[in-house]
Amino acid sequence: MNKIINLLGKPYYNKNNILLYKGDTLKILKKLKNSKLFDATITSPPYNIGKEYEKNLTTDAYLEWSEEWINSVYKTSKDNASFWLNLGYYSVENIGKAVPIIYTLWNRIPFYLQQEIIWNYGAGVAAKKFFSPRNEKFLWYLKDKDNYKFFLDRIRDPNVKYPNQKKNGKIKVNSLGKNPSDVWYIPKVTSGSKRSSKERTAHPAQFPIALINRIVLSSTNENDLILDPFLGSGTTAVSALLYKRKFLGIEIDEKYIKIAANRIEKDYEIYKKQTNQLNLGF
């Protein structure tokens, strides 16, 4: 962590191996000088769909910007690092109403695409002229397809329908539970006076802690260094602290980095108790 501080200067927040920097991701990552620091990157960049925290870019400009920051992540990642990228959909004129952003980025990403994970979250936009959207994608990338970390036993689903099923006299299923598959049903962080989630902050696109916990546990070890170049409400930082990982987060918006720092300070003990009670938090 001292190396990062020496390269980037004084952080906005620095406690328990959690560093938060306020500023532009591209400018900050370039200061790291292509050093291979990060064991994993877990992030969700702006979708370019008009959210309050986004700049409106043309599709071409957005793709060029995406390519640039992703290449910076690649150059600062260790050789066995993973890159978890959450992207949604946007409209492309005369092409489609809801085009998966990754379809327009597929040839601009230097990482190896290991798998697409579908996050099905239940609540969402209601629709009458098309199917109601109820999912987002997480793209699981690797820097080296033959050298990476994956810990399935940590995230197995203990809710096995036939726990005593046998084959040739032996228990057929894994005693720790089943593989959770590539479709994850995890409720989203909802808003509203009557249905607002307990973990809800003022950020309009907040991840549930349960979602990030699964990624952190499956792809990293204790003391690994995780990067989130678009920190938002700080869910990845809280998960990193929860499981004793080191963390660097970057956020350009003052109000959101304040939210993240506040969550790290005040919400950590709450999440810790919940996670101990619910095993992995999901």
pLDDT in tens, 166-201: 777 777 778 888 899 999 999 887 655 445 566 766
pLDDT of residue 193: 45
Confidence category of residue 273, pLDDT binned at 50, 70, 90: low
| Helix (H), strand (E) at residue 241 | helix 235-242
The per-residue pLDDT for range 75-89, each reduced to its tens digit, is: 999 999 999 999 888
pLDDT of residue 253: 93
Name the 3-class secondary structure at 43: strand
Of the candidate ranges 102-116, 192-206, 207-221, 242-256, the one whose mean pLDDT is the lowest: 192-206
Name the 3-class secondary structure at 81: strand
Q: Rounded to the nearest 5 degrees, what angle is found at the Cα of 253, between the Cα atoms of 248 and 256?
A: 75
Give the integer Cα–Cα distance in Å for 28 and 24. 6
pLDDT of residue 52: 62
Is the pLDDT at 125 greater than 80? The verdict is: no
Name the 3-class secondary structure at 183: strand
Average pLDDT over residues 242-255: 95
Which distant-in-sequence residues (6+ apart) come within 8 Å of 90 by Cβ?
Answer: 47, 48, 49, 59, 98, 99, 101
pLDDT of residue 281: 42
Nearest C-alpha neighbor of 38 from the set 6, 84, 87: 84
Show the tokens assigned to 154. 């940590």
What percentage of the chain exceeds 90 in pLDDT? 58
Average pLDDT over residues 192-211: 68
Q: Share the mean pLDDT of the chain.
A: 87
Give the integer Cα–Cα distance in Å for 225 and 216. 11
Please check whether residue 189 is in contact with residue 197, taking contact to mean a CB–CB distance below 8 angstroms. Answer: yes
pLDDT of residue 153: 95
Which distant-in-sequence residues (6+ apart) come within 8 Å of 127 by Cβ?
Answer: 133
Please check whether residue 138 is in contact with residue 182, taking contact to mean a CB–CB distance below 8 angstroms. Answer: no
Confidence category of residue 74, pLDDT binned at 50, 70, 90: very high
| Domains in the chain: ranges and CATH | 2-277 (3.40.50.150)
pLDDT of residue 55: 74
Name the 3-class secondary structure at 218: helix
Confidence category of residue 202, pLDDT binned at 50, 70, 90: low
The per-residue pLDDT for range 231-240, each reduced to its tens digit, is: 998 999 999 9
pLDDT of residue 282: 40
